[in-house]
Amino acid sequence: MTAETKLSGYLKEPLIFVQEVYDSRHELLEHVYQRAYDLGWVRKDFLERIKEREETFPTGIPLQNLGAAIPHTDSECVVKEFVAVITNSRPVVFNSMEDKDVQVKADIVFVLGLNQPHAQLEMLQSLMGLLQNEAVLSELLLASNEESLLKIVKKNNL
């Protein structure tokens, strides 16, 4: 894996949200979009496109003791690349990537804002690796602020 596709290379503090509470995945996506849009990192159509893609190709991933989701959309909506990380103090429901009719309670969500197709694939692969490491995921979920979450990512060389 190249340094460029490491999670730490795409994590930016303004798009790290810890111990959040959202009533729905739409609310979560709107919050991330609004921050990214205000920073000038995404186009106006990012929100609509990411919601549509999530309806058609859901990204919820059931893990052994947790749930995760990796929403993403077309690269042309992204001006400046990022990966937003959201830890939820109350899980947010996403539909399963494997079966649209199955709900996944996501404790952690990674919103990909990548504009290079190969980077998106590599980032998905690296996140799938992370999702298999529940010890590190649990550590991320316990982070009490943006800084401590970033430290955990760097410490684990993600």
At 2 the pLDDT is: 47
What pLDDT does residue 6 have? 87
Give the neighbor-by-neighbor strand order of the sheet with 103-113.
11-20, 82-95, 103-113, 67-69, 60-62
Nearest CA to 83 out of 133, 34, 13 is that of 13
| Residue ranges of E strands in 58-152 | 60-62, 67-69, 82-95, 103-113
Query: Is 150's pLDDT higher than 90?
Result: yes
Phi then psi for residue 106, to 5 deg, are -85, 120
pTM (2 d.p.)? 0.95
Does 90 have pLDDT greater than 90? yes
CA 158/CA 153 separation, integer angstroms: 5
Residue 119 reports pLDDT greater than 90: no
Q: What is the 8-class DSSP label of residue 118?
A: H
The per-residue pLDDT of the chain, averaged, comes to 93
Closest listed residue to residue 97, CA positions, set 66, 130, 70: 70
Q: Are strands 67-69 and 60-62 parallel, antiparallel or unpaired?
A: antiparallel
Q: What is the pLDDT of residues 28-73, one digit of tens each?
A: 999 999 999 999 999 999 999 999 999 999 999 999 999 999 999 9
pLDDT for 117 beyond 80? no
pLDDT at residue number 3: 47
pLDDT for residue 120: 84
| Domains along the sequence of the chain with CATH | 3-155 (3.40.930.10)
Q: Distance between CA atoms of 82 and 40, rounded to whole angstroms?
A: 12
Q: For 9-19, write each residue's pLDDT tens digit.
A: 999 889 999 99
Instruction: State how far Cα 93 lies from the chain centre.
Output: 14
